[in-house]
Structure 1
Amino acid sequence: MSLNANDRSIAGFTMAGHALVHWFETSIPILLVVWLAEFDVSVALVGVVVALGYAPFGIGALPGGILADRYGTKRLIVGCLAGMSLAFVVIAAAAYADSIYAIAVGLVLWGVAASVYHPAGLSLISTGVDERGTVFAWHGIAGNAGIALGPLAAATMLVFLDWQYVAALLAVPGLLAAAYGLRAEFDPAAAVDDDVDAGPEEALSPADLVANSRALFASAFAVVFAIVTVEGLFYRGTLTFLPEILNGTPALEALSVAPTLERYDVDPEFYVYAGLLVVGMAGQYAGGKLTDRVAPARGMAVIFVVLAALALSFVPVASVGLVAIVAYCAVLGFFLFAIQPFYQNAVAVYTPADARGLSYGYTYLGEFGLGAASIAIGGFVLDGFSTGAFFALLAAFALAGAALSAGLLVGLDRVFARSGADVAANPDD
C-alpha cells in the first residue's frame, strides 16, 4: 500500500532528522583523531571531552520524551536539528580559541540537542502515520545512511580542508533540514482515534510524572523496556568492538590497502564494517515491512535467537577465511538492524498514545543509556578473557531478549494489564 500525503510528509521530515543525528554522531570520532594531533592534551582528556557529548545523548532521552509530550514533536525536532548544527558551529569556532575545553562546550550542546530526537521522532511516527511499519523501515534506513555517510564525509573533507572548516560544513545539512522542517505540514495525530488526546499538553508535575511512569512500568511496557535494554547491550557491544576484533583476524590482517588510503590509516576492516552498516539498511527495511504482518513479540523472539546463534558462531567462522567473515558480517548487519523496527513498533503497541513521548524517552534511555554498559563489560571480558567469551556474553544478552519476547507471546502482557489496572485504581499507593 502506498503512503498517503500525511505519511509521506512525516516520513521525509523524520528521515532527515534521523539521518542527521547519526551524521553528526559518527563524524565526532573522525574529528577526535585530529584533535589529538592539534591539541597538546592526553588521549584520556580527549576521551573525557568526547564522552561529555555522548553522555547527554543517551541520558537526555527521557527528558526529551517528556518535552515531546509537552511541546509537540515537530517543534522539538526542528529545535534538535538547529541545535545540533549550531553546536558544530561552536566546535568549529573553538579552533580560534585554541582550547579543547571550547570543543567540550560544543559537544555538550550537541549531546543535549541530539538527545531529544529519538523520543520525539518515533512518537511522531507512532501517532501520525497510518503505515507505521513502512515508515519505521524507511526511518531506520535513513539512520543507517547517516551512520555510514557521517564519517565518510568528515574523512573525505579532512583530506582537503582544516578541521574547523569541516566541522562548519558538517553543520550545513542540519540547518537546511531545520528550515525544511519549519515549512513541513502534517497532522501529528492522524493515526490515533479522535477521542484520544495525543497532542501537546500542560507540563507534568513531578507527581504526575511519577504516576505516569508507574502506570507505564505496571504495564507490558516494562517487558518492552527490558527487551530494548538487552538489545542495546548487544547492539552497542557489537558495534563498538567488532572493528577491533576484525582487525585481529588472520584473514583481514593478511590484506593491505592502496598506499594512498594507507596514508590516512584506513584498514581493511573499515570496509567490512562499513559493508555491515550498508547491509543494515536492507535489514531495517525488511524488519519494518514485516512489522505490518508479524506481531512485534514474535518477530523479536525469532531475531534474538538468530543473533544468539550468530554470536556463538563468530569464532569458528573467523577461522575459515575472508569470504566467510564477509558473509558473516553481512548476515549479522542484516539482523542487527532488522530487529529495531520491531521494538519501535512494540512501544507503539503496548503504550497509550498520550504517553508516547515519555514511552520512547524511557525506550532510548534503555537503548543508548543502559545499553552503553556493554562497552565497559565487553572491554573487561575482552581484556581479561577471550574473544569467544565476549561473543558468549553477547549471546547471553540475545537469549535474554528472546526469553522476554517469548514472555509477551505467551500472555505476560495480560499479567501486566491486571497489575496496571490495580495501579490506575490506586494511584496514591
Structure 2
Amino acid sequence: MGKSDCKMNPKSRTARLFTNSERRILFFTNAGHFLAHSLILIFPSIATPLAQELILPFEQVLRISFLMYLFYGVGGLPAGFFTDRINPRISLTVYFLGIGLACLVTSFTKTKTQLQIALMILGIFLSIYHPAGIGLLSRSMKNRGMAMGINGTYGSIGIASAPFLAGIINYFLGWRSIYRIMGFPPILLGVLLCITGLPEVKREEDSSRVGGRRKGRSTLLPFLILCVSMALAGFVYRGQTLLLPTYFEKKISFLYELVKNVELVRMESMKTLSATLLTSLVYVISIFGQIAGGRIADRTELRHAYLFFFLGALPFLFMMYFFQNLLLLGASILFILLTIGMQPVENSLIAKLTPSKWRNTSYGIKFTLTFGISSAVIYPIGFFQSRYSLEAVFLFFSALIGVLVLNNLLLILSTRGKSIRN
C-alpha cells in the first residue's frame, strides 16, 4: 500500500462521519444557515445609501428594519411549533421560497412604507430556519455535535460575508440589486428541495431519555435554567454585533494609520472601512471555534463544556474594557471564538433536555430568546454610553456573563448525578 493510500482526504473523512442521507440534509441546512445570517445583515450595510436616497437621518433609516428584526426573533417559536406538526422538508421549502420571493419584492419597493413591509415579510420567513434546520439536525445526525459545528460555520461565513457582498454589489449596481441577486439562490434551493425531497434519519438512541431516565418533568427545570443562560448569551451576542465595528473604529487605529497615506485609498470613510474589515476578520476566525465546539460536543460532558466555554470567555470580555489596538483585537478574537464555539454544545444540550416531538419548538424558544428579546439590548447600550462611556458597556456585558456562569453552575446542580452527552 502506497503512502497516498494511507492518507485520508477530507472527502473520505466526511464520508465516514456522515451517511449519504445525512450529507443531503447538511447541504440544505448549511445553505439555509448561510442565507439566514447573510440576509439579516444586509440592511445595516446599505443604511448609508438608503439615507441618501430617502433623505432621512441615519437613525431613522435604521428604524425601517425594526419589524424585520422583531419578527426574525419572535417568529421562531410559532415556526418551531408548526414544524413539530408537519414535515421539516415543508418548513424548509417554505423558508427558501419565502425568503427568495421576499428579497425580490424588497428590490422593487419605491417608498419607505413599502420597504418596511417587505423587510418585515423577509424577517417572518427568515425566522423559520433556526427551529426547522437546527431541529432537523438534532434529530437526524449520529455525530450531532460535529454536524452542528459544521452547520455553524456556514452561519459564521454568512455573518462575515454579508458586508462584503452588500458593499460590492451596491458599489456597482445599487442597493436594490443586492436583494434582487440574493433572491434567486434560495428560490432555486426551494425548487430543488421540492424535487429531491429530504430524508430524516432517525438516530438509534432513545432520545426520550437522559441519564437513563425518561424526559419530562425531570428535565423541565434544567431546560428553564438553560433558557436563562441562552437569553443572557443572546443579549451579549446581539450587543457585540451592534457595538464591535464602532468600538474598533474608536479604539483600534493601526490599520487606518497603515493605509491612510496611500494615495489610492485616501478617503473620509477609510477609518470606518478599517474597523469593518477587522470586525469581519474576528468573525471569520470564529469559524474555527464552531468546528472545535462541534468536536467537544461529541466528546465531552455537555454541561461542563458549556460552563467552561463561558468561564474562559469572561476574562477576555473584561479585558476589552481596558485594551486598545492589537491587544483589543486579540481579546475580541478570543472572546468571540469561545462564545461562537459554544453553540454546538448549547444546541446539543437543548436536544438532550427536550423530547423529540417538541424539538423544533424548543429551538424556537431558544431563538426567540436569543434573537427576539435580545433586540432590547439597544436600551442599556444607550444608557451606559450616554451616562458613562462606550467602554462601560463592556463592563455591563461582563457582569451579564458572570451571572450566566453562575446560572450554568445552577444547571449542573439541578442535574447532579446525571451524565448528559451526545
Describe the SS at the equivalent of 2:61: helix
Q: 1:385 to 1:188 in 2, by over 3 A?
A: same
Unaligned runs of 5+ in 1: 197-213, 417-429
Where does residue 106 of structure 2 map in the other structure? 91
1:120 to 123, 132, 143: 132
Where does residue 30 of structure 1 map in the other structure? 45
Displacement of 1:157 in angstroms is 1.1
Matched, 1:151 2:163: yes
Displacement of 1:307 in angstroms is 1.8
Aligned residue runs from structure 1 range 280-429, under 5 A: 280-318=286-324, 322-410=325-413, 412-413=414-415
The TM-score with structure 1 as length reference comes to: 0.85
Matched, 1:247 2:249: yes
Matched, 1:176 2:188: yes
Where does residue 267 of structure 1 map in the other structure? 273
Q: What CA deviation, in whole Å up to 9, does each residue of 1:373-419 have, x standing for no partner?
A: 32321221122113443212111111222112222223x03699xxx
Describe the SS at the equivalent of 1:317: coil
Q: What is the identity percentage for the equivalent residue pairs of Structure 1 and Structure 2?
A: 22
1:187 to 199, 215, 218: 199
Q: 1:116 to 1:283 in 2, by over 3 A?
A: same
Where does residue 13 of structure 2 map in the other structure? none
Where does residue 206 of structure 1 map in the other structure? none
Aligned residue runs from structure 1 range 223-234, under 5 A: 223-234=225-236
In the alignment, the residues of structure 1 paired with residue 303 and residue 311 of structure 2 have an alpha-carbon distance, to the nearest angstrom, of 12
Displacement of 1:223 in angstroms is 1.1
Q: What CA deviation, in whole Å up to 9, does each residue of 1:232-288 have, x standing for no partner?
A: 011111121111111111634645456448476552111110110101111111111
Q: CA RMSD in A?
A: 2.4
Letter in 2 for 1:56: F
Letter in 1 for 2:182: L
Letter in 2 for 1:62: L
Letter in 1 for 2:156: N
Preserved contact between residue 131 and residue 367 of structure 2 (Cα < 8 Å): yes
Describe the SS at the equivalent of 1:291: helix
Number of aligned residue pairs: give it. Answer: 392
In the alignment, the residues of structure 2 paired with residue 168 and residue 26 of structure 1 have an alpha-carbon distance, to the nearest angstrom, of 15
Letter in 2 for 1:3: F
Q: What CA deviation, in whole Å up to 9, does each residue of 1:283-332 have, x standing for no partner?
A: 111111110012221111111112211111113332xxx33233223212
Aligned residue runs from structure 1 range 215-226, under 5 A: 218-226=220-228
Letter in 2 for 1:123: G
Q: 1:107 to 1:195 in 2, by over 3 A?
A: closer
Q: 1:184 to 1:19 in 2, by over 3 A?
A: farther
